[in-house]
Structure 1
Amino acid sequence: MHTDPAQIRAFFAARAADWETRYPDDAPAYRAGVAELDLREGQAVLDAGCGTGRAMPFLREGVGASGVVLGADLTPEMLAAAARAGRGAYGGLLLADCARLPLRDDALDAVFAAGLIGHLPDPRACLRELARVTRNGGRLALFHPIGRAALAARQGRELTSDDLRAEPNLGPLLESSGWTLTSYTDTDEGFLAMASAKAEAGADTDA
Structure 2
Amino acid sequence: MAEKYNRFAPFYDALSGEFPVYRAGRLLAVRDLDLAEGAQVLDVGCGTGLNFGLLQRAVGPTGWIVGIDRSPQMLARARRKAERRGWSNVILIEGDATTLSVEKVREAVRARGGRGSSDAALATYALSLMPGWEHAWERMKHLVRPAGTLSVVDMQEPQGAFAVFGPLARLACRWGGADITAAPWRGVERDCVAVRTASARGDHLQVRTGRRP
In the superposition, the TM-score normalised over structure 1's length comes to: 0.74
> 1:73 aligned to 2:48?
no
1:164 is aligned to 182
2:106 is aligned to 103
- Distance in 2, matches of 1:180 and 1:152, equals 35
SS at match of 1:17: helix
1:121 is aligned to 131
**1:51 CA drift (Å):** 0.4
- Distance in 2, matches of 1:114 and 1:151, equals 20
**AA partner of residue 103 (structure 1):** R
Equivalent of 2:49 in 26, 50, 53: 53
Q: 1:34 to 1:174 in 2, by over 3 A?
A: closer
Q: 1:48 to 1:117 in 2, by over 3 A?
A: same
- Distance in 2, matches of 1:34 and 1:147, equals 20
> 1:188 aligned to 2:187?
no
- After superposing the two structures, state which structure 1 stretch, 109-118 or 184-193, moved more: 184-193
1:149-189 residue CA offsets vs partner (Å, 9 max, x unmatched): 2576323399xxx9221xxx743x4466x434712233426
Segments of 4+ in structure 1 off by > 6 A? none
SS at match of 2:9: coil
SS at match of 1:112: strand
1:15 is aligned to 8
SS at match of 1:85: helix
Where structure 1 has 5 or more consecutive residues not aligned to the other structure, the ranges are 1-7, 199-207
- Distance in 1, matches of 2:71 and 2:136, equals 16
**AA partner of residue 122 (structure 1):** G
**AA partner of residue 67 (structure 1):** G
1:134 is aligned to 144
CA-based RMSD of the aligned residues comes to: 3.0
CA contact (8 A) 1:43 1:109 kept: yes
**1:27 CA drift (Å):** 4.5
Q: 1:122 to 1:84 in 2, by over 3 A?
A: same
Where structure 2 has 5 or more consecutive residues not aligned to the other structure, the ranges are 108-114, 159-164, 174-179
- Distance in 2, matches of 1:59 and 1:73, equals 17
SS at match of 1:30: helix
**1:147 CA drift (Å):** 5.6
1:50-85 residue CA offsets vs partner (Å, 9 max, x unmatched): 000011121121111211111111100111122233
Over the matched positions of the two proteins, sequence identity in percent amounts to 20
CA contact (8 A) 1:44 1:109 kept: yes
Aligned length: 182
Would you tell me which structure has more helix in proportion to its own residues? 2
